[in-house]
Structure 1
Amino acid sequence: MAESQTSDSRKLLVNLRETLAAASEGQERLDRITSLIAESLGVEVCSIYLFRDTETLELCATEGLNPEAVHQTRLRVGEGLVGRVARSGRVVNTEDAPSARGFRYMPETGEEIYSSFMGVPIQRLGEKLGVLVIQSKDPRTFSADEIYGIEVVAMVLAEMTELGAFIGEGEAMGALHQRPVTFKGSIGQEGAAEGHVWLHEPRVVVTNPVADDPEAELKRLNDAVDTLRVSVDEMLENAQTTDKEQMQVLEAYRMFANSKGWMRRMAEDISRGLSAEAAVEKEQSAARARMSQVPDPYLRERLHDLDDLSNRLLRILTGQGKDTGAEMPENPILIATNIGPGELLEYGRGLKGIVLEEGSVASHAAIVARAFAIPLIIQAGHIATEALNGDHILVDGEAGVVHLRPEDTIITAFRDKMAMEAKQQERYRSLRDKPAMGLCGTEVKLHMNAGLMADLPSLESSGAYGVGLFRTELQFLTVDRVPRRGDLAATYARVMDAAKGKRVTFRTLDIGSDKVLPYMNPLDEPNPALGWRAIRVGLDKPGVMRMQLQALIRAAAGRCLTVMFPFIAQLDEFRDAREMLLAEIERERALGHILPEKVEIGAMLETPSMVFAPQQFFEMADFISIGGNDLKQFFYAADRENERVRRRYDTLNVSFLNLIEEIVTRCDAARTPLSFCGEDAGRPLEAVCFAALGMRHLSMRPASIGPVKSLIRRTNIEDLRELIDETRLSGEQSVRQTVKAWLVENAT
């Protein structure tokens, strides 16, 4: 790179910084910037387009085009050459703009006399903010050095937009992180919360994009990279893995940290006038842009490694991000791209809500959120990019909506809704000690689901009959090695102690599918929900399951022990698992240990195959629990992690109710107690329908017990059964609307 070009670029950036630092309104700043860029680059036109909304670009400032077109000319993303740059995130550089693909003539701008066109995206870490354009009358293609220089300027503009430099008359999207924004996500856990944003990984804000002393900045960069490399080496040395593939990934990570090309590009950015932080972020933005264009998952993962290294380097340079000593705000609502169960457990019950950009309804985070009864929204767009620590936020877990920096009218309506829900909860609390008995005298036992010691206080406060499902996998998911038998036994004993004699049903380790242990080699399965999971893992690798069964037997210590095996798909699986438990009891007897007073051995019915299992299955099981979430997805062949189909099929569809009734009939014939466990058990409408079909035990999250009990107590279950039978005979696909209308008239 020529020294004169480097010097010119640095001079432009210094002038740009001075222009941005001058006291002026947003529009005046934009106008000065376009004039400065046009003069410095020797072109007739420089224009800045910013996003007015996610799909619309607006001409916000120009030098050379008709000034009356400012704030009047708008383009859709993809429309014209400017819209093409915005959509692709790539440079468009042509000597004959009218002949270029996608050209759109805008007569109000007066641009028809300009032949040459170059547009570069104004973007920050994949966040598209606008487009910077230069044009000239003479037909020419702008050089690589000119492109590089204008990209550096665009990067500085992105940083200054981030810092609110263009707020005012010409702000367009310049008021980033200050406007009210609404995000629509998916419901991970119902509930509503108002509070303030706490970012799990706060974004680093570069406040000094332009630097005066390139040598000093280069030294800062080199020192920070040295620190980064040492930390990566330590991470590799401390890696607790012998897996060849994992080690290759870590080695690739170290290779990126030592990449000469990465360092050379950042050094060139600094020589142009950028600060060390801005140089890192410029290369990070370029990697993010490439990442979005790469279809190959392996290459995308490697670009993600580079992205993560850039974040680490930025935190070293700025001192921002994790471990900065910032105080958590009042009523914190956690915002993250994604989060593991261990990290979430560290936050504890202090959180008022959780919002994730990724995640799934069956993720580890969702399990913990349900255990804490914290509202959770997943798949919430780019909220981790938009939100800042301390922002006011409303989480509506009933509708799957998040209001960030909400307007007063939204706040008022939300608080009114929360007040109504609080009144309802007060009414539900008054039912705590009353039975869930219908008007006809039919009683349904309502149990709660749990997975943590922190859940157990809800056993008393909710009025639950017992724990219908205790998920034991959380004790395995939140540590970095297989737990010790003694530690598990102590945990299970504390659970039984906290239950104070009420029945606790322990489900054995349910891993695989979406629940992969941190110390377990992940399997590359095309469809893990139908793969090696739950009881299949336990029977194929019996060591861990035997250890867990021993811990459960010792925890019982003379009390009743209730054990349930998950994901049974054929009789032999249940028979083998049952024999394994009985063998461990005999082993404990031989060792002279105290045995449980009574042992109940049950199965989760989660696959349609077991509806038609041999009669011995129903007779052999001491109890059966329908795992509604999995049973429904396999019955309808609709993945519950797929947002396109998971809500497509109704639980109250006649065909699914027929399936449930068949299970009830077979269990009744064998005199085997039956329960329903899953999200649908906690929905009042579905719950009363299950009761009408003969279900006498339902297990749900503690917060659902009050609403379900309230509706059961106001319903004649026998009359509802007659209505359901009539509706099924009528040929209706679902009984939902008929039942809903009937309950409005008949539930007193």
Structure 2
Amino acid sequence: MTPDGDPVQTDSRQMLSRLRALMAEDAAGQARLDAITTLIAEEMRTEVCSIYLFRDEQTLELCATEGLNRDAVHQTRMKLGEGLVGRVARTGKVVNTDNAPAARGFRYMPETGEEAYSSFMGVPIQRLGETLGVLVVQSKQSREYSDEELYAVEVVAMVIAEMAELGAFVGEGAAMSARHQQPVLFRGGIAQEGAAQGRVWLHEPRVVVTNPIAEDPNRELERLEEAVETLRVGVDRMLSTAATGDKEQLQVLEAYRMFANSKGWMKRMEEDIARGLSAEAAVEKEQSTTRARMTQVTDPYLRDRLHDLDDLSNRLLRILTGQGAETGAEMPDDPILIARNIGPGELLDYGRKLRGIVLEEGSVGSHAAIVARALAIPLVIHASRITNEALNGDFIMVDGDQGIVHLRPDDNVVAAFRDKMAMQAQAQERYASIRDKPAETLCGTRLALHMNAGLMADLPSLEGSGAEGVGLFRTELQFLVRAHMPRRAELSELYAHVMDAARGKRVCFRTLDIGSDKVLPYMKVIDEPNPALGWRAVRVALDKPGVMRMQLQALVRAAKGRPLSVMFPFVAQREEFSAANAEMNKALERERILGHPLPSDIEVGAMLETPSLAFAPDSFYREVDFLSIGGNDLKQFFFAADRENELVRRRYDTLNVSFLTFIESIVKRCEAHDTPLSFCGEDAGRPVEAACFAAIGLRSLSMRPASIGPVKSILRRIDLGELYEVIDGVRNAGDQSVRPAVMEYLKGKL
């Protein structure tokens, strides 16, 4: 209120107009921030305006003020959540109080001289969900600031965030370091091992708003209306194209159209423009509000709808700015893909052009991870905020072995990283020299090393890696990357090409492994409390046998009289295998009746991924032609540790005595019934683990192609009898893991 008790009227358009003029002046970053605080205090007729910015993820610093003690600038700091300013930064919510000292979380900062001010309003300085700092106004008079004043401060806070993005506050005496120029280290999760360096390629380039303040509001309204109409036409076009698609896809597009035609959405953006924002800034303001709401919503359906609105905002911003794919930007020769998340089809479109992939989200079992492994591309997941920090063309180094990403690294990091890559290259040369030699140990035991695959693009690695065959061909990728169910003829042709490319080497086809984290785009999503233990793989196939029958017929036809190996995933008990095997026999009989050539030899096996199958009756071991231990799933069920949960997935060691003893018991059961056994999974491709598996009796391992050289190299240098004595000694001593003792033994062999 004014001294006369009248409400203060704040003209946001006038404030933004003055702010635009201020920003057009040639001034250093600190001078600009100082001028902004003075301008806001004058326009709002309040005694204090202060700007607090993050110095690091946990620390806020007073960077400019009008009304508080100027000596406190760059001296006063507080932790995230500390005081009212820290509370605003932590929650992303406004604090507006007429009695700041009595407000929850208040902290007195004596060096600022703020004890004289009762009223306090703090607004987060945010850009698309990222909080950069807090904008504060204070007054001696005890009052709450009005909605109009709050709106004006929120608008200015958003403009400050855009200016920070554009580097407006850097330079001599700068309050902020230059964004997108400093080295940044990200620690994420390991989804595909390997190391790569290159240039950033953003899957969805961030739109930068260069004109947050409107010069001509009427023209900005026209631009918004034109862009929204273009957006609506595009959504209608997508709907007409998908008119014959599945119901769920149509529902998503209908939600898009609903938001694109939302009068409330449009009205709010028009009001923002009327108050002084440009069309782009108005869209981004609404988008920031949407993202803030996302963090508060727990219902998955509502979150998906908010994501739809967020995506539409991105589309609208690209139309307004002309930024994104439409600019014709060219992918660098050494691209490292950066994205929040990405689907398998989109990733396959990039193909082997990518040197590495970094995702903010994702999981070790996601579709993207499956494709990345198939393409042998290093992948780091859970690299929080990297899409905010990275710009197209930035130099970046990805350490998939450690889950570390170096963005714009300094010279020392570059030198150390390149030394590591050089050592890996030398090791690969060494592995190439033994490519055609057998994986035979010093004691004369020979192991069969096979590769995992899931795409035709994998098959050239069969020759180059020295693999003896394909121990696991994942057939679900062909289902995951399509918008509709593939036809039998398409699958038969694909499987035939795979067998042709193998040139007589064994290819073991795993039937469709869907459910859990692998949901087909055209498959109805089943809401399960624990999908990993739910309706998946062979369970889906037996309940919905039509797809399995079609796939088995395609495999039989693809063989064209050649030997055929097929295995069923996630078998938990004998009856499931028997039922699936009966479907195979039906497929063979049907093909015989139709006069099609049958495989010259057929072997039907199962993946042992559940502890229950290890204790199946002897009749199962006699019935099955072969078994393959699915190590990834078996380990998570054995230790009751979800491999998608970063809190527990690394807690348990493969070389734990109990797990190795369990695996050895499976080896002995298979030996007793002459049942061929292999181990398939990430651990099979880790040299130390592979050596231990060989020592306890496994004679066949299947892994990614790049792992065959390192595993073969270590096997050729060890005596399995000696290594077994080490393992048994640890077991008898009662220790938990054999890893320390095994590593000590291997030191003398490498």
TM-score normalized by structure 1?
A: 0.97
- 1:305 deviation in Å? 2.2
Find the counterpart in structure 2 of residue 124 from structure 1: 127
Find the counterpart in structure 2 of residue 79 from structure 1: 82
Structure-to-structure mapping, 1:14-413, within 5 angstroms: 14-239=17-242, 250-413=253-416
Is residue 28–residue 174 contact of structure 2 (8 Å, CA) maintained in 1?
no
Q: Within 1, Cα distance between the matches of 2:666 and 2:76? A: 65
Q: Within 1, Cα distance between the matches of 2:151 and 2:608? A: 62
Q: Within 1, Cα distance between the matches of 2:587 and 2:9? A: 75
The answer to whether 1:486 aligns with 2:469 is no
| Residue number among 720, 725, 733 corresponding to 2:736 in the alignment | 733
Find the counterpart in structure 1 of residue 599 from structure 2: 596
Is residue 6–residue 272 contact of structure 1 (8 Å, CA) maintained in 2?
no
Structure-to-structure mapping, 1:471-620, within 5 angstroms: 471-620=474-623
- 1:249 deviation in Å? 5.0
| Residue number among 418, 428, 433 corresponding to 1:430 in the alignment | 433
Deviations 1:594-621 (A, max 9, x none): 2211111111111111111111111111
Q: Within 2, Cα distance between the matches of 1:173 and 1:348? A: 39
Is residue 121–residue 137 contact of structure 2 (8 Å, CA) maintained in 1?
yes
- 1:700 deviation in Å? 0.3
Is residue 629–residue 679 contact of structure 1 (8 Å, CA) maintained in 2?
yes
Is residue 246–residue 522 contact of structure 2 (8 Å, CA) maintained in 1?
no
- 1:414 deviation in Å? 0.7
- Aligned to 1:61, the other structure's residue is in SS state strand
Is residue 482–residue 519 contact of structure 1 (8 Å, CA) maintained in 2?
yes
Partner AA of 1:662 in structure 2: S
Distance 1:577 1:196, change over 3 A: same
The answer to whether 1:705 aligns with 2:705 is no
- 1:314 deviation in Å? 0.9
Q: Within 2, Cα distance between the matches of 1:241 and 1:191? A: 42
Q: Within 2, Cα distance between the matches of 1:368 and 1:43? A: 58
Partner AA of 1:320 in structure 2: Q
- 1:295 deviation in Å? 3.2
* Greater mean alpha carbon deviation, residues 162-171 or residues 710-719: 162-171
- Aligned to 1:320, the other structure's residue is in SS state coil
| Residue number among 720, 725, 728 corresponding to 2:723 in the alignment | 720
| Residue number among 647, 669, 677 corresponding to 1:674 in the alignment | 677
- 1:658 deviation in Å? 1.5
* Greater mean alpha carbon deviation, residues 469-478 or residues 302-311: 302-311
Structure-to-structure mapping, 1:626-665, within 5 angstroms: 626-665=629-668
Distance 1:533 1:422, change over 3 A: same
Deviations 1:289-345 (A, max 9, x none): 122123333333332222122112111211212343110023100001111111100
- Aligned to 1:122, the other structure's residue is in SS state strand
- 1:232 deviation in Å? 2.7
Is residue 201–residue 336 contact of structure 1 (8 Å, CA) maintained in 2?
yes
Q: Within 2, Cα distance between the matches of 1:669 and 1:477? A: 39
Partner AA of 1:363 in structure 2: S
- Aligned to 1:359, the other structure's residue is in SS state coil
- Aligned to 1:454, the other structure's residue is in SS state helix
Is residue 448–residue 701 contact of structure 1 (8 Å, CA) maintained in 2?
yes
- Aligned to 2:337, the other structure's residue is in SS state strand
The answer to whether 1:456 aligns with 2:459 is yes
- 1:247 deviation in Å? 5.3
- Aligned to 2:50, the other structure's residue is in SS state strand
- 1:250 deviation in Å? 4.4
Identity %, equivalent residues? 72
Deviations 1:89-108 (A, max 9, x none): 11111222222221111111
Deviations 1:511-544 (A, max 9, x none): 1111111111111111111111111111111111
* Greater mean alpha carbon deviation, residues 696-705 or residues 289-298: 289-298
- 1:240 deviation in Å? 5.7
Q: Within 1, Cα distance between the matches of 2:156 and 2:264? A: 22
Is residue 33–residue 169 contact of structure 2 (8 Å, CA) maintained in 1?
yes
Q: Within 1, Cα distance between the matches of 2:650 and 2:485? A: 36
Q: Within 1, Cα distance between the matches of 2:259 and 2:68? A: 44
User: How many positions carry a matched residue from both structures?
Assistant: 744
- 1:170 deviation in Å? 5.0
Deviations 1:228-277 (A, max 9, x none): 22333333444467876765554444332222222221111101111000
- 1:482 deviation in Å? 1.0
* Greater mean alpha carbon deviation, residues 457-466 or residues 97-106: 97-106
Find the counterpart in structure 1 of residue 4 from structure 2: none
Deviations 1:338-374 (A, max 9, x none): 1111110000101000001111111111111111111
Find the counterpart in structure 2 of residue 439 from structure 1: 442
Is residue 189–residue 374 contact of structure 1 (8 Å, CA) maintained in 2?
yes
Q: Within 2, Cα distance between the matches of 1:584 and 1:292? A: 50
- Aligned to 2:664, the other structure's residue is in SS state helix
Is residue 8–residue 45 contact of structure 2 (8 Å, CA) maintained in 1?
no
- 1:667 deviation in Å? 0.7
Q: Within 1, Cα distance between the matches of 2:482 and 2:527? A: 22
| Residue number among 733, 743, 747 corresponding to 1:744 in the alignment | 747
Q: Within 2, Cα distance between the matches of 1:673 and 1:8? A: 80
Is residue 605–residue 627 contact of structure 1 (8 Å, CA) maintained in 2?
yes
Distance 1:171 1:510, change over 3 A: farther
Q: Within 2, Cα distance between the matches of 1:467 and 1:713? A: 21
Deviations 1:355-410 (A, max 9, x none): 01111111111111111111000111111122111111110011100011111111
* Greater mean alpha carbon deviation, residues 166-175 or residues 99-108: 166-175
- Aligned to 2:473, the other structure's residue is in SS state strand
- Aligned to 2:171, the other structure's residue is in SS state coil
- Aligned to 1:117, the other structure's residue is in SS state strand
Partner AA of 1:674 in structure 2: L
Q: Within 2, Cα distance between the matches of 1:466 and 1:517? A: 28
Q: Within 2, Cα distance between the matches of 1:487 and 1:740? A: 48
- 1:421 deviation in Å? 1.1
- Aligned to 2:295, the other structure's residue is in SS state helix
Partner AA of 2:445 in structure 1: T
Partner AA of 1:691 in structure 2: A
Q: Within 2, Cα distance between the matches of 1:133 and 1:64? A: 11
Q: Within 1, Cα distance between the matches of 2:605 and 2:9? A: 74
Is residue 485–residue 547 contact of structure 1 (8 Å, CA) maintained in 2?
yes
- 1:169 deviation in Å? 4.3
Distance 1:700 1:172, change over 3 A: farther
Distance 1:678 1:274, change over 3 A: same
- Aligned to 2:387, the other structure's residue is in SS state helix
Distance 1:169 1:97, change over 3 A: farther
Q: Within 2, Cα distance between the matches of 1:322 and 1:274? A: 25
Deviations 1:395-430 (A, max 9, x none): 001110001111111111111111111111111111
* Greater mean alpha carbon deviation, residues 729-738 or residues 120-129: 729-738
